[in-house]
Amino acid sequence: MVEISVVVPVYNVEEFLGECLDSIVNQTFKDIEIICVNDGSPDNSLEILKEYAARDDRFIVIDQENGGHAVASNRGIDIAKGKYLFLMDSDDILDLNAFEHTYKVAEERNVDFVIFQAINYYMDKNELVEAENYSMNALADFVGDRVFNWREVKDFAFKITVTPWSKLYNREFIMKNNIRFPEGYVFDDNVFFFDVFFAAERMTFLREHLFKRRWYSSSSTTSGGVKFMDYIPICGLIWDVFTKYGVFEEFKEKLFDKKIGTIHHWYKGIKEEFKQEYFDRMKADYVELADDEEFFEDFINSLTDHQKMVFDSVLESEVYTEFDLKLQQKKLIHRNNELKAAVLEEQRKNGQFRKKRYGTKNKIESLKAENEKMILANEQLTNKINNLS
């Protein structure tokens, strides 16, 4: 039996595939199998895989019709024979010591999985940039070198990167808990991560940057493509995982935030041509939630003011342009109310502190002027919304 199985789902990455495979082949830790699943690539990716396999008998190359990242990854997981499992993205780069260091930690600490650090590689600038979402320094400071479980780090549950390539998994743990990627979506790593996170009893952190995450304009998470819509059903699948482990109530505020904040985040990033369809799916999801009267009261009372504005604006609108305007209007009204409260507070202070009257009066006038601008902007938005009817 090999010690580490490396699973590499491959789709249309001929430009980057060689560099990725070189970073695996040349690892200082040699006892590995490299399972590459070509997911119907239309470019020369399969030919590149065959060339590597002809030179290195550690390669297993599988060619299948396009089914998506999850289908290819799951197939590789099912074939794997190693004690440990590493899930690689085919356009990224591993540090050559990655397996040596993570294997050593996994063996010494006897864990279900090891979390380690990654760094951003911006191709256009040829620049490496450290970011907290991949470095997780706050978590590293908290746990040190010890072994822990989710209960001890629950405050970090949404601060640990969900990316599968920043972990080395005990394969038996993955198989025993039947953890797989949900098929047919992007953002599938969110569901996989939380399933792993709550199933594991022993995890640890290795404070080393062992992975380069490549960023480029056509990647699936930066392109603004139609697959951004997948986050809406993925959010529901994330809720299902938390329900499965009986921890939904404990994390509900963060989960509600994802239902509003993260879904809205991907809406803002999607291309204009897909916005109406995204809006329709978002509204259908929110309508279904609102129809559950018993659950809805708890949900709506847990939202922030901004989250309520987003949610209400979706339900009140028929098209995405109306939604954008209504949300902008609600923000203006909210800001207007804040200004009114600030004016009243300054007037109160003015009555208490006569000696500061002149400066306070000027501040009141300034706030009133900003308030008038807000009122005018609100009237203009109202006219735009009425014109949509």
Joined together, the tokens standing for residue 303 give 């939202």
Joined together, the tokens standing for residue 191 give 């569901």
Q: pLDDT value at position 378?
A: 80
Task: Give Cβ neighbours of residue 334 (< 8 Å, ≥ 6 apart).
Answer: 305, 309
Joined together, the tokens standing for residue 65 give 């019709």
* Spatial distance between the Cα atoms of 200 and 161, rounded to a whole number of angstroms: 16
User: How large is the greatest C-alpha to C-alpha distance in the chain, in angstroms?
Assistant: 88
Identify which of 28, 174, 50 has the alpha carbon closest to the alpha carbon of residue 94. Answer: 28
| DSSP conformation letters of 65-113 | ----HHHHHHHHHHH--SSEEEE--TTSEE-TTHHHHHHHHHHHHT-SE
Count the Cβ atoms, other than its own, within 10 Å of residue 254.
Answer: 14
* Spatial distance between the Cα atoms of 61 and 52, rounded to a whole number of angstroms: 9
Whether 138 and 132 have beta carbons less than 8 Å apart is answered as: yes
Q: pLDDT value at position 293?
A: 87
Distances (CA, A) of 341 to 210, 337, 348, 353: 51, 6, 10, 18
> Phi/psi at 95 (nearest 5 deg)?
-65, 140
CATH number of the domain located at residue range(s) 4-215 in this protein: 3.90.550.10
Task: Give me the amino acid identity at 174.
Answer: I
* Spatial distance between the Cα atoms of 134 and 186, rounded to a whole number of angstroms: 19
* Spatial distance between the Cα atoms of 119 and 140, rounded to a whole number of angstroms: 15
Residues of the chain with confidence (pLDDT) below 70: 217-223, 351-361, 389
Identify which of 281, 230, 305 has the alpha carbon closest to the alpha carbon of residue 70. Answer: 230
> Phi/psi at 90 (nearest 5 deg)?
-80, 0
pLDDT tens across 327-376, in order? 999 998 888 888 888 878 777 777 665 555 556 667 777 778 888 887 88
Whether 45 and 19 have beta carbons less than 8 Å apart is answered as: no
Q: pLDDT value at position 370?
A: 80
Whether 132 and 156 have beta carbons less than 8 Å apart is answered as: no
Instruction: Say how far residue 58 (Cα) sits from the centre of its chain.
Output: 33
What DSSP character marks residue 246?
T
- End-to-end alpha carbon distance in the chain: 67
Q: What's the 3-state SS for 327-354?
A: HHHHHHHHHHHHHHHHHHHHHHHHHHCH
